[in-house]
């Protein structure tokens, strides 16, 4: 299996390919959400990708893949754990999304290469990183209203690596960062637009739901 040092070397190489400016289609029709589900009492993980109509949020397609984990959870090397099931699921899609929102950081990462960057560079697709909690970086006061945001600044060089974004009034923020082929401002606006009713964007909520179903189905069928 891949060693920690090898994984870090891969990140250092691939990070140079990340594009932090908008390079999306003129019109976004299909947006994708991804999530990975872990089984409580085995080493199975299920990844799901859900395709939604950008304006109506109607589900267009879902693809999932369940398998054994191939890499341990190490903060900073998260993508090596979650990429395999997500890539397998992505291969099953017969329609491609214009943009993907994944559940984890992009540039808001120790080496500026979180899951969203790794997925974006690998698929050569626009990807937004949207994490539920912070991995690194510091941010200042955040106002209470929906849509309030604060810059997330790296501890080492003080560079802007993401935004803490309040998607609902008085609720903990989510952490938005560039994955690939999108700017931070565009990424932030899209996450806010997709978080219509809850803290997390609908893409993530729906992907989470299907990943759970995929895990249950896989376990049931393997009996």
Partner DNA sequence: GCGACAG
Partner DNA sequence: ATCTTGTCGC
Query: Footprint of DNA on this chain (CB under 7 A)?
Result: 35-38, 40, 73, 75-79, 103-105, 109, 114-116, 129, 131-136, 212
Q: What's the min distance (Å) between Cβ of 91 and DNA? A: 21
Angle at 78 between CA 30 and CA 170, to 5 degrees: 65
Spatial neighbors of 181 by CB under 8 A, at least 6 apart, are 19, 21, 22, 23, 24, 120, 125, 126, 127
CB of 181 to DNA, least distance (A): 17
We find the least distance from the C-beta atom of residue 155 to DNA, in angstroms, to be: 9
Comparison of 33 and 131: residue with beta carbon closer to DNA: 131
Measured from the CB atom, the residue of 56 and 170 that comes closer to DNA is 170
Asked whether residue 39 is marked as a ligand-binding residue, the answer is no
Is 35 labeled as ligand-binding?
yes
- Taking the CB of residue 20, how many other CB atoms lie within 10 A of it? 18
Q: Which residues lie closer than 8 Å to 89 by C-beta, 6 or more apart? A: 34, 47, 48, 49, 63, 64, 65
- Using the minimum distance from each CB to DNA, give the nearer residue, 97 or 131: 131
Calculated CA dihedral for residues 62, 63, 69, 70, nearest 10 degrees: -130
Considering the complex, state which of residue 63 and residue 108 has its C-beta at the smaller distance from DNA: 108
Question: Minimum CB separation from DNA for residue 157, in Å?
Answer: 16
Residues placed in the known binding site for Mg(2+)? 35, 103
């Amino acid at each position: 299996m891949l060693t920690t040092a090898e994984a870090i070397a891969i990140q250092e190489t691939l990070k140079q390919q990340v594009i932090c400016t908008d390079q999306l289609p003129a019109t976004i029709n299909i947006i994708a959400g991804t999530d990975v589900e872990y089984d409580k009492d085995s080493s199975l993980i299920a990844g799901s990708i859900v395709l939604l109509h950008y304006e109506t949020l109607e589900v267009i397609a879902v693809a999932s893949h369940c398998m054994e984990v191939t890499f341990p959870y190490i903060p900073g090397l998260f993508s090596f754990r979650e990429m395999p099931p997500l890539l397998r699921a992505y291969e099953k899609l017969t329609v491609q999304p214009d943009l993907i929102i994944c559940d984890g950081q992009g540039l808001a990462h120790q080496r500026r290469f979180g899951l969203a960057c790794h997925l974006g560079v690998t698929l050569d697709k626009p990807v937004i990183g949207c994490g539920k909690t912070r991995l690194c970086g510091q941010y200042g006061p955040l106002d209470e209203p929906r849509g309030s945001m604060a810059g997330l600044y790296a501890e080492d060089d003080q560079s802007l690596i993401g935004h803490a974004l309040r998607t609902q009034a008085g609720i903990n923020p989510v952490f938005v960062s560039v994955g690939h082929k999108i700017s931070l401002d565009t990424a932030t606006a899209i996450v806010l637009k997709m978080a219509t009713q809850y803290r997390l964007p609908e893409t993530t909520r729906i992907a989470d739901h299907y990943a759970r179903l995929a895990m249950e189905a896989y376990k049931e069928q393997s009996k």
